[in-house]
Amino acid sequence: MFFALFVFVFFAASAAVSNVDVQESLLGVEKSVYVSGRLICGGKPYDGGNVTIYMDGGEGHPSWDPHFGTIMGAARTQQNGEFSFGGVVDRTDGEIYVVFFHQCLRRPSCVSHAAEVPYTLWYLPSAYICPGAECLHDPSKHYKIGDVNLDPIAKDVVQQEWCIKATVYF
């Protein structure tokens, strides 16, 4: 009798919780981001650069290696070096960042292996990561990165650059 009462109370309480609450607690909430900016190489707009939004692998996977991440969106820069796009992911267990794959003034350390591609990481501030698809539709939530100088000599606090053997995703 006690067991039957417990089961009844459990299911009644479960039914009182909305489907959204169950989804949020079990699966997490979708996140979205929208980024725009311009890539510069050698003082000129960088045409054809590959820009990808990733969420890192979470669960102990290295955040610096995009092979362990989830791709949220990808685009190529236009002739003027500009990019503007967004993406949505249904995971909530990692940081979101933009990766710029490029051949800008190819670093000497990358020249030894033809398959190695330099890339630059740019972590997104949490203020520009939105629940659901909100960031895709609200221009005030778009993260405007501005000009990103891909020259290896350029130093920026929020940029990190490495060479990896990479397949550019699109």
Per-residue pLDDT tens over the stretch 65-89: 555 678 889 999 999 999 999 999 8
Joined tokens for residue 30: 């979708």
pTM to 2 decimals?
0.67
Closest CA to 160 of 105, 118, 132: 118
CATH number of the 29-165 domain: 2.60.40.3330
Domains in the chain: boundaries? 29-165
In three-state secondary structure terms, 152 is: coil
pLDDT in tens, 138-154: 999 999 999 988 876 44
Structure tokens at 108: 């000497």
Residue 162, phi then psi, degrees to nearest 5: -140, 170
